Amino acid sequence: MSSTANFNDAAEPTTASRIDKLARRRAKAKMGWFAHATAFTVVNLGLITLSLMTGGTWAIYPLLGWGVGLAMHGVSVWALPQGSALMDRMVEKERAKLSGSRRTDLW
């Protein structure tokens, strides 16, 4: 029984660490979306006010254009799975490139 407990204890920090890393990544992505949505709201309220004061309806164009970008950002944060295998593969590929390169300019 003690060997099973030791095995579980050894595996647990790795799992907990991975869960913590993924949770932080998801929280950071959601906070980024909230910041984006706040900027969208504040700027577009100002543009709508300016547009109405000048008697025009031009504010709808930046509102729609930026709204599409905000919607796509929202889909990537809220609807698509975070921590996907694709992202993990891309990170590993970049790590391999950077660790194999001895150049001073890494870009």
pLDDT in tens, 20-43: 888 888 899 899 999 999 999 999
Residue 73 has pLDDT above 60, yes or no: yes
- Rounded to the nearest integer, the mean pLDDT of the chain is 82
> Whole-angstrom Cα distance, residue 107 to residue 101?
11
Number of structural domains found in the chain:
1
Comparing 105 with 22, the larger pLDDT belongs to 22
Q: Which two tokens stand for residue 83?
A: 């921590």
The answer to the question of residue 52 being in a domain is: yes
The answer to the question of residue 54 being in a domain is: yes
Domain that holds residue 34: 2-100
The answer to the question of residue 105 being in a domain is: no
> What is the average pLDDT across 40-56?
96
Question: For residues 44 and 37, is the Cβ–Cβ distance under 8 A?
Answer: no
Cα 41-38-20 angle, rounded to 5 deg: 150
Cα 72-34-57 angle, rounded to 5 deg: 65
